[in-house]
Structure 1
Amino acid sequence: MTGKGQGFGFGLGKMKELADAFKKAQQVQEGAKQLQEELEQMEIIGEANNGLIKVIVSGNQEPRRVEISPDALNKGAEVLSSLVTVAMKDAYNKSTATMRERMEDLTGGLELPGL
């Protein structure tokens, strides 16, 4: 019977690496909770036509409000609708990029040995 007493094939060094990785993963999980709270409080502004229309969302893409300049009202319903859509896409793209950057900062260096 070869391999007797070796458990699952992890030596003592590997067990310490694995324990360290689990500790790091737990820290990441705690950081993720804090990040979620920060994203909920954050306001990200998407704009169209140099700020004629602004769409404000939270860091986790929850819509907050839309600001429409009085000048935008003179453009007509079709143009106004298009501008709001552009501002929404801008806000979405900015919030997605922010979320991705923050998650990469949080999980950077997380390596699970042997997996």
Structure 2
Amino acid sequence: MKNIMGMMKQAQELQQKMQDAQAEIAELEIEGTAGAGLVRVKLSGQGQIKAISIDPSLIDPQEPEMLEDLIMAAHNDAKSRSESVIAEKMKDVTGGLNLPEGMKLPF
């Protein structure tokens, strides 16, 4: 019975750590860049775009596709960086355990 109580306490501690990590992740802002830093996209820890910065030299009405591609590349860079940061934070919380897909954070 004592073993079950210990497991329950550990589960509660893990739940609190997960909640703390979720709050910390929600506050993150991760920036991705493209075009040698001329296009920047900032994402929240939950994947929402917080800001986009475009150097005016890139704004050419004759070539909108280039700017569109750079914005997508900067977004993808920010998303990749965000996923890495979140994975590292979750690794710290779970002590390196690989949680099943259904137990992972939804963002």
Scaled by the length of structure 1, what TM-score is found? Answer: 0.74
- For 1:69 and 1:35, locate their aligned partners in 2 and report how far apart those are by CA, in whole Å: 34
- For 2:80 and 2:31, locate their aligned partners in 1 and report how far apart those are by CA, in whole Å: 10
Structure 1, gaps ≥5 residues long: 1-14, 111-115
- For 1:18 and 1:62, locate their aligned partners in 2 and report how far apart those are by CA, in whole Å: 40
- 1:46 matched residue in structure 2: 32
Note if contact 1:60-1:99 (Cα within 8 Å) is conserved in structure 2: no
Alignment coverage as a number of residue pairs? 96
1:66 corresponds, among 34, 52, 73, to: 52
Query: RMSD of the alignment, in Å?
Result: 1.8
Which of structures 1 and 2 has the bigger CA Rg? Answer: 1
1:32 corresponds, among 5, 8, 18, to: 18
Map Cα deviations across residues 25-53 of structure 1 (whole Å, 9 max, x no partner). Answer: 21121111111111111110011012111
Aligned-pair CA distance for 1:16: 3.3
Structure 2 residue 91 is matched with structure 1 residue 104: yes
Percent identity for Structure 1 against Structure 2: 34
2:70 corresponds, among 83, 95, 102, to: 83
Q: Which runs of 4+ in 1 moved over 3 A?
A: 15-18
Note if contact 1:57-1:91 (Cα within 8 Å) is conserved in structure 2: yes
- The residue type equivalent to 1:61 in the other structure is G
Scaled by the length of structure 2, what TM-score is found? Answer: 0.79
Aligned-pair CA distance for 1:109: 6.2
Structure 2, gaps ≥5 residues long: 98-107
